[in-house]
Chains A and B, each alone.
Chain A
Amino acid sequence: MSTATEPLLTPALLARLERLELVSRKVFRGRMKGERRSRRKGQSVEFADFRNYVAGDDLRLIDWNLYARLDQLFLKMFLEEEDLHFFALIDASDSMRFGTPTKLHVAKQIAAALGYVGMCRADRVQVTVLGPDGARAPTLRGKSSLHRLLGYLDTVGGPVSDVRSENDLGSTAAHNISLEEGVKEFSLRNSGTGVAVLISDMMDKQGYESALRLLIGRRMDVYVIHVLTPEEIDPPLRGDYRLIDAEDNDQAEITINPAVLQRYKQTLTHFTESLKQFCNQRSIGYIPVRTDTPIDQVATSYLQSRGVLR
């Protein structure tokens, strides 16, 4: 395990991110005026439709040219451009604190990058961790809110906690809740729809399916960024070990030999394949990310190629 001391986003990366925007495969209603097309009709330069005037309508919307030609009152309706709700959900459980850099650090980097892209495009951005700390997450708009975003993320995942210590209250790390619980809590806090990106290692013994179902049940455009360390993909372990789970202190005694290792890799492949299949069947974007991939590459070209950004 390691603690990330490097900045989440470098100025160079920020400059590149400013040219990108988040992709929403669905059109959502926003809350405020924004840059994105909304289902709502409103004020923009893009024509949407005509409809008959009804008493009480805003007279400014009447198409007077049409009235002169047809002697009937029609309202000229334009597409409304509203903001997009972007949610980045970070799994901050203790299992995310492994690797160099840690999975949590990579998750925060990705969330910050995506959030910054959204903020640049006047989207409504909320980067939050699953669990009670999610409540503190600010909802942000505009580039100037970047420091708030980073400030929040800095409070996420402090020093490495001893998973076996129950008294460590100064860190969110103690709150190892399941994906389902975290997503449920998030859903209760946030009613709107939008783009939700779940950044996690998906290693939940209770399963990830219910959590993802909750998100798509909210008619959100969901992406899953699956973060894995190289050590998880190809464990450097040989011999007799007592493996201790960082989250629930579960222990597994195992003699790791090439055959067992082979078996582990098969299990991992099966796990990622089933997750991918689950996502595909539900129009969830599945994006696997290795922690040893540079964040510049992930945040720009990789996520672009996967359709999260453009």
Chain B
Amino acid sequence: MTWLPTLGPLGLAVAAAVPFGILALYFLKLRREPVEIPSTFLWSRTIEDLHVNSLLQRLRNSLLLLLQLLVALLAIVALLRPGIRGNRTLEDRRVFLVDRSASMSAIDGDDGRTRLDLVREDVLSRIEQMQDGETAMVVAFDQAAETVQSFTSDRRRLRTAVQSIEATNRRTDILGALRAADGLANPRRSSQVGDLNDVQVAEAKPAELQIHSDGGFDPVNEFNLGNLVPMYVPAGQANGRNLAITAMMAGRGMDDGQRVEVFATVANLGTEPATSDVSLLVDGELADAASVDLEPDEQTGLTFELQREDAVTLELRLDETDNLAIDNASYAAMAPLRLVDVLLVTPGNIPLETGLKTTEASSVSNLVMADPSFLDSDGYALDAAAGTYDLIIYDRCSPKEMPSSHTFFIAAIPPKPPLDVSAQDDAPEDAETERESEQASDETSREESNVAIEIRQAKQWGYSSDLSSMQIIDINRTHPIMRYLDLYNLLVYQGRALESPDGGDDLITADIGSVMTIAPRDGFQDLVLGFELVGTSDKGESTINTNWYAERSWPVFLLNSLRHLAGAAQSGGAASYPPGSSVRFRVDAGTKPVEVFLNGEALATATPSPGGLVEVTDTEQLGIYEARREDRILYRFCVNLFDPLESRIAAAKSVEVGYKEVNATNDEVESRREYWRLLLVAALGLLATEWWVYSKRVA
């Protein structure tokens, strides 16, 4: 506290004499009411006893006098102009950029206050130090910027704005905030260069840009500071302890659909060595654990393996607490069973239809049935080309061309693919021309590309035996489609052995050869069964060729086919997004609203667009988000921080903004913070109180 008296020595002396004057006036001009009493005898004796401290007695309880003295003292102190040293910036306009990203939730200090709490306090004190006439603006930013308060000199509004800033879980991108500040400090040229009549009217207004952040963002180069004078006020300490999960991914094994593999990266982004246990929770229950011991700036990878066929949720958790809690947990999930569209083309096959309409099968598939004549329609051609169906089952019939779908042929083989010579590097003509030529003359094409024909012929589907009775001798249990199947009791009246293209996998082998084979085709899989389930006699009656549909293995086989052939069970894990992302996904058509759940708790309800597109924007919280409709999980995604910049706990010593490195310095000059106004206001208040007390007494 310093003093800057406005009065000279004489003035000060007069001012100091004022209280004594008031006291003297009090005693001299004390307004005493004359009262006649029977005798002053007793009163005199009373006063005599009090004579020793009569002065104090007179002052005692004289509230009015005390108030007057206080008013005078406050006025005198105000005249002395008390003030404290404060900080004054160079500019009279300030822009407070307040970082509210995930890293600002870090606990700094022993009192459990977060980095953002400290920043808020700092900014509030700077607002308090603002002089009259200075204006300021508050911009909060994470990956997006929000102008919490535009330029104003009203400190109350500025304080309210700063207090309203809450930490988010988002990453940091300061560019938006810089642009918000830039818009006011550097007005764009609105006038036409060279036109004398068109003058620039918007005046450039320099402003001080105070960046209150821990510096956890990338250097911003595509930005011109212009009239902005940057100042970096680092938030947080230079040291800290933070272990972070910077990556996590879950997927199913390539060869084993049951195996779930979890990969994670744990990094020590603090400044001290750290040790922690890492727990893997599957569907909320501890499934596995590991331990990490990392030096600063070290990272390690963790791998977990689980045998889980269902769509599990996974949470990886660091058990030790550190300065930043948000990066101590990460989430992953296996994608839920997908609803697949199945087209069954059959002249009539009750066992097959029944098997595809079981409750289990219906829960993962939409079945559409058609007669073989449908294959000649335009509708089929469109659907086949567009890949509308995930699986097309051809029962005793075959299309002209293979569709863009997985297929299952029963007692039929896929058609021969069209000639494709595009594989040849020295093809003189483009593919379209070739296709035309192929259609024009098959023979000519074959002659032109003998090698290609040989290759194609080697890859064709075909029968390797005539129709004959057969005995099953082996099944391939390792294939997902054949899982849980026991087919040794299977009786088949007659069938044919199959010839498959390269890459084909024999699933059922009979004495005559492979009778069920699966082979890949351009990203699709074709499953071919070499025997009929039901047949048609010459008389047109249905005949039975096998007892498979009466076996327990039949619906299991169909379900396996839907899951693994049609793709209901996706092998991948759910996608992960950073917090605050807008996540869009497609659910099956239909505009019935879907409910969005976060970690099992209802979050929101979203209505899909007519195309089945759902957008979830409220993704601030980390965790596993699920879109459900009638308890069926339609889609699942995770929100994780996974940002080493946010997790790096130590505050940066400098930041780079617009090719300018801004060090954590204090570009301020000292200024006085004066209190005489406050004192005068207090004196006035006291005066009013005194008047009130006086009126009350007189009344």
Binding site for B on A (CB under 8 A): 1, 94-98, 103, 163, 201, 203-205, 229, 232, 237, 239-247, 250-255, 257-260, 263-264, 267-268, 271
Contact = CB atoms under 8 A, between A and B. Distances in A.
A260 B46 contact: yes
B696 interface: no
Contact of A257 (B32, B37, B43, B60): B60
Contacts of A94: 38
A245 B45 CA distance: 13
A205 B41 CA distance: 6
Given A242-B33, A244-B35, A255-B62, A260 B40 contact: no
A203 B49 contact: no
Nearest to A263: B46
24 contacts: A163-B36, A201-B39, A203-B42, A229-B38, A240-B32, A242-B33, A242-B35, A243-B40, A243-B43, A244-B36, A245-B37, A247-B39, A252-B40, A252-B43, A253-B32, A254-B43, A255-B57, A255-B60, A258-B61, A259-B57, A260-B50, A263-B49, A264-B43, A268-B42
A247 to B, nearest CB: 6
A303 B604 CA distance: 95
Contacts, number: 96
A241 B38 contact: no
B359 interface: no
Contacts of B37: 98, 243-246
Given A257-B61, A259-B60, A260-B57, A246 B35 contact: no
Nearest to A232: B38
A263 B45 CA distance: 9
A251 B40 contact: yes
A264 B46 contact: yes
Contacts of A250: 40, 44
A136 B91 CA distance: 102
A101 to B, nearest CB: 14
A212 B697 CA distance: 45
Interface in B10-66: 30-47, 49-50, 57-58, 60-62
B40 A245 contact: yes
A240 B57 contact: no
B50 A263 contact: yes
Contacts of B42: 203, 232, 264, 267-268, 271
A241 B32 contact: yes
Interface residues of B, number: 26
Contacts of A268: 42
B41 A204 contact: yes
A106 to B, nearest CB: 13
A267 B37 CA distance: 16
Contact of B39 (A203, A259, A260, A263): A203
A253 B31 CA distance: 10
A244 B62 contact: no
Listed from nearest, the 4 A-B pairs whose CB atoms lie closest are A203-B39, A95-B38, A245-B40, A242-B32
A237 B35 contact: yes
A229 B37 CA distance: 11
Contacts of A242: 32-35
Contacts of B57: 255, 257, 259-260
Contacts of B40: 243-245, 250-252
A98 B35 CA distance: 12
Given A244-B34, A255-B62, A257-B61, A203 B46 contact: no
A98 B38 contact: yes
Contact of B45 (A232, A241, A267): A267
Contacts of A257: 57, 60-61
Contacts of B33: 239-242
Nearest to B39: A203
A96 B38 CA distance: 7
A267 B39 contact: no
A201 B40 CA distance: 13
Given A203-B39, A241-B34, 19 more contacts: A95-B39, A201-B39, A203-B41, A203-B42, A229-B38, A240-B30, A240-B31, A241-B35, A243-B35, A244-B37, A246-B36, A246-B37, A247-B39, A254-B43, A257-B60, A257-B61, A260-B50, A267-B45, A271-B42
Interface in B50-84: 50, 57-58, 60-62
Contacts of B30: 240, 253
Contact of A252 (B38, B47, B58, B62): B47
Interface centre among B32, B43, B49, B57 (most CB of A within 10 A): B43
B43 to A, nearest CB: 5
A94 B40 CA distance: 12
A267 B697 contact: no
A252 B37 CA distance: 10
Most buried by B among A240, A243, A252, A253: A243
Contacts of A97: 38
Given A260-B50, A267-B45, A267-B46, A246 B60 contact: no
A28 to B, nearest CB: 34
Given A240-B32, A260-B57, A246 B38 contact: yes
A246 B50 contact: no
A246 B39 contact: yes
Interface in B436-473: none
A112 B49 CA distance: 40
A201 B42 CA distance: 12
A190 B36 CA distance: 35
Nearest to A252: B40
B32 to A, nearest CB: 4
A267 B48 CA distance: 11
Given A247-B39, A259-B60, A260-B57, A252 B44 contact: yes
A229 B50 CA distance: 24
Contacts of B45: 267, 271
A96 B39 CA distance: 9
Contacts of B41: 203-205, 245
A12 B47 CA distance: 46
Contacts of A98: 37-38
Contacts of B34: 241-242, 244
A242 to B, nearest CB: 4
Nearest to B49: A263
A243 B47 CA distance: 12
A98 B37 CA distance: 8
A264 B50 CA distance: 10
A260 B48 CA distance: 11
A201 B37 CA distance: 13
B697 to A, nearest CB: 7
Contacts of B46: 254, 260, 263-264, 267
A284 B349 CA distance: 140
B58 A255 contact: yes
